[in-house]
Structure 1
Amino acid sequence: MISEKYALMIIDMQKDFVLPNAPLCIGGAAETLPRIGELLEAFRVRGLPVIHVIRHHRADGVDVEGIREKYFTGGPGFAVPGTEGAEIVDELTPLANEYVLVKRRFSAFMQTELDFILRRLGVNHLVICGTQWPVCIRTTIFDALAFDYRVTSIVDATSARSSDVAEANIRDIAAMGVSCVEAGRFIRECL
């Protein structure tokens, strides 16, 4: 049996996606904070790698997906470096020894150094949580599988705009061999 070397990936838990009245607030994201906090603490205590994955976009939106250009035309945009909304929520502030990976697209693997970092750290199993299921979580999971990482999705530490969307995504990724468990169970049984 292959020994598991875990890394925790917390995806897009930035103020623009989590706080009420934020430009792209995802319903349920704030409610996942306690469970993400439990996972984060468990990884910190054990000295395991933590990667905070965030989005950054230029103020003019030239680097945002075409389907999201509307947020930058006539509006303030979102996840613009130097704005409060681009910051990780206070409850999950990274420590100095944790990685902050900037992405510009849905997947944390697309045109980033993520795979290089994970391989240098010897990681073979990703534990993924954050927001939101049908885009950034799902595409990152698909790409992780394509790169031959084992994946655990923490279902009660991940959000979507509705429970129907979350449930459909969980069914799909479970059918692909992704372990879908709650935070408490993962901490008890795997760490």
Structure 2
Amino acid sequence: MFQFDSSPALVVVDMQNGFCHKDGSFARLGIQSDPTTIVPRINELLSKFRAAGLPVYFLKTGYKEDYSDRRGRDRQDRLEQLQGLLQGTWDADILDELTPSPGDNVVNKTRNSCFYQTSLENTLRERGVGHLIFTGVGTDVCVETSARDAYQLNFAVTTISDATGTCNESDHLAALHALRNFGGTASTSEVIEALEKLRDSNHV
């Protein structure tokens, strides 16, 4: 039975127009994660975490106008030609269906890992967060990299199997299989059940 190891926080990874919207830069590159099934589950988790007064962190990829902070730059790179994922643009914005609330935290990143040159680790420590619950895209790229790094930083880690996604099912399942060694996985319903038990025990 799933339960929280310590004070949890929900982490929503890269649910941005550029990665997930049909008009986003990745769709124009012929690469897209279909968020149809996971958006409702992420929203359900957001609602439960907010109601319990637990922290929510939105991660998003956003680059400077000249892409000087992007790894492996290439002048012929099509993402740059499309002006994709630039900070402050629609492409870098979180999907409208998942708009952060005023109390949520939004962290910009420029690498697959949410911990690379960001303030996230310090923010989590200051908040007393010990268990990170990962949702979002892509399961095999930014979600997996961030979950692995969180595990190495001694956070308890759980990746939500039905609230994460990537470009195809085989890559999604392979990433979930790998993550069994980095905190493991759980379903949305299992996390919600654990939240309800936590709320009852704390009389939230």
Normalising by the residue count of structure 1, what TM-score does the alignment of the two structures yield? 0.92
CA distance in 2, matches of 1:181, 1:67: 36
Paired residue type of 2:191: F
Query: Are the structure 2 counterparts of residues 66 and 30 from structure 1 closer, same or farther at C-alpha, using a change threshold of 3 Å?
Result: farther
Q: Which residue of 1 is the match for residue 45 of structure 2?
A: 39
Q: How far did 1:92 drift?
A: 1.1
Q: How far did 1:177 drift?
A: 4.5
Secondary structure, aligned partner of 2:178: helix
Aligned CA RMSD, in angstroms, stands at: 1.8
Q: How far did 1:67 drift?
A: 6.4
Query: Are the structure 2 counterparts of residues 105 and 35 from structure 1 closer, same or farther at C-alpha, using a change threshold of 3 Å?
Result: same
Which residue of 51, 65, 78 corresponds with 1:71? Answer: 78
**Residues 128-161 of structure 1: per-residue CA shift (max 9 Å, x gap):** 0000012100110111011000011111110111
Paired residue type of 2:163: A
Q: How many residues align?
A: 188
Secondary structure, aligned partner of 1:24: helix
Matched-pair contact (CA < 8 Å) for 2:17–2:23: no
Secondary structure, aligned partner of 1:65: coil
Secondary structure, aligned partner of 1:36: helix
Q: Which residue of 1 is the match for residue 200 of structure 2?
A: none
Q: Which residue of 1 is the match for residue 167 of structure 2?
A: 161
Q: Which residue of 2 is the match for residue 106 of structure 1?
A: 112
Secondary structure, aligned partner of 1:127: strand
Q: Which residue of 2 is the match for residue 57 of structure 1?
A: 63
Q: Which moved more, 1:151-160 or 1:64-73?
A: 64-73
CA distance in 2, matches of 1:39, 1:32: 11
Q: Which residue of 2 is the match for residue 20 of structure 1?
A: 22
**Residues 72-117 of structure 1: per-residue CA shift (max 9 Å, x gap):** 45x2232112211111111111111111001010000011011100
Matched-pair contact (CA < 8 Å) for 1:6–1:127: yes
Q: Which moved more, 1:21-30 or 1:164-173?
A: 21-30
Normalising by the residue count of structure 2, what TM-score does the alignment of the two structures yield? 0.86
**Residues 3-58 of structure 1: per-residue CA shift (max 9 Å, x gap):** 62000000001111110132124332343100000010010110100000011112
Query: Are the structure 2 counterparts of residues 146 and 81 from structure 1 closer, same or farther at C-alpha, using a change threshold of 3 Å?
Result: same
CA distance in 1, matches of 2:188, 2:95: 19
CA distance in 2, matches of 1:111, 1:61: 16
CA distance in 1, matches of 2:36, 2:159: 18
Question: Structure 1 segments of 4 or more deviating over 4 A?
Answer: none
CA distance in 2, matches of 1:5, 1:84: 33
Secondary structure, aligned partner of 1:106: coil
Paired residue type of 1:54: K
Q: Which residue of 1 is the match for residue 190 of structure 2?
A: 185
Secondary structure, aligned partner of 1:66: coil
Does 2:99 correspond to 1:93?
yes
Matched-pair contact (CA < 8 Å) for 1:16–1:86: yes
Matched-pair contact (CA < 8 Å) for 1:19–1:30: no
* Alignment gaps of 5+ in structure 1: none
